[in-house]
Amino acid sequence: MTLTKRTVLAGAFAGLLSLAAGPASAQDQLKLAVGQRGNWDTSVAEIGTRLGIFKKHKLDLQMLYTQGGGETQQAVLSNSVDIGVAGGIMGALSAFSKGAPIRIIGAETTGGQDLYWYVKSDSPVKTLKDFDGRTVAYSTNGSSTHGVVNAFVKENGLKAKLTATGGPAPTLTQVMSGQIDVGWAAPPFGLEQLSKGEIRVIATGNNTQAFRDQTVRLLITNTSVLQSKKEQLDRFMLAYRETVDAMYASDEALKVYADFVGVPLEIAKRTRDEFFPKKALDPDRIVGLDTIVPDAVTLKYIAQPLTKEQLGELIQIPPRR
């Protein structure tokens, strides 16, 4: 073999090695629609990215923040994003029952202790019963807050005027200006106003039978994404679990979160420790389906209960490795 041929073959072989090595070192991009920027539970992807965990799993996350679970779910259904973070469970059940291409790949939050409804300090509203005839806020249709206020109404026989107000910031503006009687929020938002006595908490998501100690928000995807990017979704869940562990292991993740949200470290710590026990962020368990599904029928999200086979089709959580 001549030197020239050896050189050509060596170059070709090196090129093949380069091509083979390329995908292994490249970062696969995933687009996320995240409901509510800055909540502790919705910040897993952001914290994991800043800590380098998703990069370690060869993932580059592009995040779009929405005003709530309803908008997040719509982004998933329209195939505008690969993953929806913090979609409401009632909205997911409703969409699936109508034939929408939606699948659940993990739990996002279990329990409703982080969602709270409040009034101005001088409001005559003292209890849930006082919601009757009042304007009561939720974020977007199909969100977890929408599910909670519907449960408030159903379980207490109320005739409240449920109103979509978007995120916590515009909701607070509407409450303080008198446009809305009862607002909603999630920590760390509102903790400063609570400390100053400007607002009072009336109820949380745990004041409902339908959401107490049950999974309320989800990680969701489109069926087409599940088929075309299954391996990337598997890696996403590995990195997601690793990030949740890191968020409760030390103060490093707390510092990252405080910097991301722009709050003092003590507020970040209070948000985590008082409102989000680690088990609330466990992505591997959809808790309370035996109650959630009948409640979805009662609250008119679905016409009839989903079968075990249907739930098996809807819920496809990648296994741990």
Question: Looking at residue 21, what is its pLDDT?
Answer: 39
Give me the residues paired with residue 120 across strands: 199
pLDDT of 3 > 50? The answer is no
Question: Looking at residue 142, what is its pLDDT?
Answer: 84
Question: Looking at residue 16, what is its pLDDT?
Answer: 37
In angstroms, the CA 200 to CA 125 distance is 10
In angstroms, the CA 116 to CA 186 distance is 6
Structure-token pair, residue 47: 């914290």
Question: Looking at residue 12, what is its pLDDT?
Answer: 40
Asked if 165 and 171 touch (Cβ cutoff 8 Å), the reply is yes
Average pLDDT, the chain: 91
Question: Looking at residue 153, what is its pLDDT?
Answer: 95
Question: Looking at residue 55, what is its pLDDT?
Answer: 98
In tens, the pLDDT along 227-245 reads 999 999 999 999 999 999 9
The Cβ-side half-sphere exposure at 94, using a 13 Å CA radius, reads 22
Asked if 236 and 49 touch (Cβ cutoff 8 Å), the reply is no
pLDDT of 49 > 60? The answer is yes
Asked if 148 and 48 touch (Cβ cutoff 8 Å), the reply is no
Residue 320 confidence class, pLDDT cut points 50, 70, 90: confident
In tens, the pLDDT along 56-69 reads 999 999 999 998 89
In tens, the pLDDT along 87-105 reads 999 999 999 999 999 999 9
Query: Dihedral sign, CA of 222, 227, 231, 234?
Result: positive
Question: Looking at residue 198, what is its pLDDT?
Answer: 97
* Contact partners, residue 122, CB within 8 Å, separation at least 6: none
In tens, the pLDDT along 171-224 reads 999 999 999 999 999 999 999 999 999 999 999 999 998 888 899 999 999 999
In tens, the pLDDT along 66-85 reads 988 999 999 999 999 999 99
Whether the predicted model's global pTM rises above the 0.75 cut: yes
In angstroms, the CA 321 to CA 319 distance is 6
In angstroms, the CA 173 to CA 230 distance is 42
In angstroms, the CA 161 to CA 265 distance is 37
Question: Looking at residue 86, what is its pLDDT?
Answer: 96
Q: Are strands 135-138 and 59-66 parallel, antiparallel or unpaired?
A: unpaired
Report the candidate in 33, 107, 30, 105 with the shortest Cα–Cα distance to residue 75: 33
In angstroms, the CA 14 to CA 143 distance is 52
